[in-house]
Amino acid sequence: MAQAQQVLNVLPPTPDLESYRDVWVFIEILKGNMLSYCLEGIAAARKIASKVNMGVGALVASDVVSEEVVKTLIEYGADYVVAVEHPYLADYEPFAYTRALEEVVRERKPWALIFMADELGRDLAPRLAYRLVTGLATDNIDYDVEDFYHGLLKEKYTNILAQIRPDFATRIAKIYTPRHRPQIASLRPGSFKPLPRDPSRKGEVYRYKPSLSNYQRKIRVLGYEVIEDRGAELLEAKLIVSLGLGILRDAEGNPKNPLEAVELAKKIIDLVRNKLGVKAAMGASRALIHADVKELSGIITHDIQVGQTGKTVSPKVYIAAGISGAIQHRVGILRAGNIVSINIDPKAPIHEIAHYVIIEDLYKALPKLYEALLRKIEGGGG
């Protein structure tokens, strides 16, 4: 009796819960260009789909979705493509997109729907999730499929998507949407590697024309400006040298001109770029960016922030100079192959997750590292 009462007093579940199947990934097209990191979403969807024996669908919205885009998505691991086409979808606008996706989701009923956690996904997914009355887990870095016991309802749900995200309090939290479909999630770019392209893969395309009935156009897109986003460079880099608050002072605590540290980092980056032909970039911690240091304006900017509220990076080598390593920063570099920590404080948390530890003033350590790299590269190359 008490339990029945309780069930009545919660958000009603999605009707027809069991009929939802397949894992979909929303593929972003901006000004006619598909964003390549959406292929990481297909890789994530494949991981999930393999555990629940479902298919992977790539969901694309635009005025027209080209055959080339369809082919690319299939070859990178989608089983089929759902192409939502309408003149109102030529430019991204959240309400038209929400309405169009709502229609196709209600008709085709995907079990899970993954967005990329960028400015588009974070704008669109929340509104769609609210409209569909389902959960949204943001900023995921990994997925699993698990059984879940719902404490409030005292019910067990089998084969539920575990949406893994960094969390302030518990380090990493798993979010479940047990009673609602689709299970909507947003995936941090850089958390998965795209699958290798397989030109022999074949798949179907379903072209869907949304009705957008009663759609009131309340947003007009007036135009675009291209911005220099060094963040994209960061996501592709094999070597990243990141700077933190530690660059503001030397080992004795005296103020330093932080541009010196920037120059030292650039020397290493340029060396690796020019002599090894490897992509390399500079990153920064949230603390340094938010310190609003005058000398660093235009150099240490928001777009190169690494960490929970910035970018998740996956270089082969990540060098953290003067970064203490707060949990929010650490979750952004979990996928780095090798972490080199440079911090004069032996107790700095960054050392705990580093593969290589340098407990020394970064103004001494960076030049030594540069010289050593130069010696090895020139010695090895000669």
Partner 1 sequence: MDIVLNPYDRKTIEAADYMRRRVGGKLIALSMGPHPKIIPIMNELFDAEISGIDDAYIMSDKRMAGSDTWATSYTLSKGISKILSIHREAIEALAKAVDTGEPIERVEALAADLYRRNLLPNKIYSDKPSIRETLINMLSEGKISREEASKILWEEANKIYRDFMIFAGMKASDGETGNVGPQVAEALSQELGFTIPHVSFVLDFEYIGERNSIVARRKLVNLIQVVEVEIPAVLTIHVEYSAPPIPLSGRRWSLLNSYRGKNRDIKIYNADDIKADPRFIGLAGSPTVVGPGVDISRPYVRKVVGSSLIAAKDIDKVSYGDKTYGPYKKGDLLDSLPEEVKRGLMSKGLAKIFDYDDLAEEIINALRG
| Among the listed residues 48, 54, 212, 331, the single contact to partner 1 using CB under 8 A | 331
Q: Which of 62, 72, 134, 242 binds partner 1 (CB under 8 A)?
A: 134
Find the binder of partner 1 among 136, 247, 261, 333 (CB under 8 A).
Answer: 136
Q: Which of 141, 179, 167 is nearest to 47 (CA)?
A: 141
> Residue 33: which region, alpha, beta or left (left: phi > 0; alpha: psi -120 to 50)?
beta
CA distances to 163, 269, 297, 376 from 380, in Å = 45, 18, 38, 6
**Which residue from 12, 156, 198, 207 is in contact with partner 1, where contact means CB under 8 A?**
12
Contact present, 360 and 342 (Cβ < 8 Å):
yes
- Checking 101-104 for CB contacts under 8 A at 24+ apart, the result is 101/26, 101/59, 101/61, 101/128, 102/128, 102/131, 102/132, 103/208, 103/210, 103/211, 103/212, 104/59, 104/208, 104/210
User: How far apart are CB 308 and partner 1 at their closest, in Å?
Assistant: 8
Q: Specify the stretch interacting with partner 1 by CB under 8 A; choose among 7-15, 55-63, 105-113, 193-201.
A: 7-15
201 vs 278, which CB is nearer to partner 1?
278
Instruction: Name the DSSP class of 28.
Output: P
Asked if 291 touches partner 1 (CB under 8 A), the answer is no
* 158, 170, 254, 297: which one binds partner 1 (CB under 8 A): 170
What is the nearest approach in angstroms of partner 1 to the Cβ of residue 95?
6
CB of 231 to partner 1, least distance (A): 8
* Cβ nearer to partner 1, comparing 20 with 80: 20
Q: Is 219 in the site for partner 1 (CB under 8 A)?
A: yes
Residue 22, phi-psi category: left (phi > 0), alpha (psi -120 to 50), beta (remainder) = left
Q: By C-beta, is 138 or 203 nearer to partner 1?
A: 138
For residue 119, state whether it binds partner 1 (rule: CB under 8 A).
Answer: yes
Distance of CA 182 to the CA centre of its chain: 20
Q: Which is nearer to partner 1, 135 or 244 (CB)?
A: 135
Question: Which residues 30-59 are close enough to bind partner 1 by CB under 8 A?
Answer: 30-31, 35
Closest among 247, 255, 14 to 131, alpha carbons compared = 14
Tell whether residue 324 is a contact of partner 1 (CB under 8 A).
no
Is residue 27 a contact partner of residue 60, using CB atoms and an 8 Å limit? Answer: yes
Binding to partner 1 (CB under 8 A) within 69-88 occurs at none
Instruction: Give the three-state DSSP class for 146.
Output: strand
Q: Which token pair is 343?
A: 């911090």
What is the CA 265 to chain-centroid distance, rounded?
Answer: 25
Cis check for the bond before 12: say yes or no (omega within 30 of 0).
Answer: no
Binding residue (CB under 8 A) for partner 1 from 108, 122, 201, 249: 122
Residue tagged 């005025």 (tokens): 63
Among 15, 199, 218, 294, binds partner 1 (CB under 8 A): 218
Q: Does 167 bind partner 1 (CB under 8 A)?
A: yes
Residue 130 touching partner 1 (CB under 8 A): yes
- When asked if residue 178 is in the footprint of partner 1 (CB under 8 A), the reply is yes
Between 55 and 123, name the residue whose CB sits nearer to partner 1.
123
Considering the complex, state which of residue 205 and residue 336 has its C-beta at the smaller distance from partner 1.
Answer: 336
The alpha carbon of residue 293 and the mean position of all alpha carbons in its chain are separated, in whole angstroms, by: 27
Q: How many residues bind partner 1 (CB under 8 A)?
A: 104
Nearer to partner 1, 1 or 226 (CB): 226
Q: By CB under 8 A, what part of segment 253-282 binds partner 1? A: 272, 276, 278
Nearest CA-CA partner of 229 in 119, 303, 313: 303
Distances (CA, A) of 365 to 242, 336, 344: 14, 21, 10
Told to check if 293 binds partner 1 by CB under 8 A, we report no
SS3 325: coil
* Minimum separation from the CB atom of position 248 to partner 1 (A): 21
166: number of Cβ within 10 Å: 22
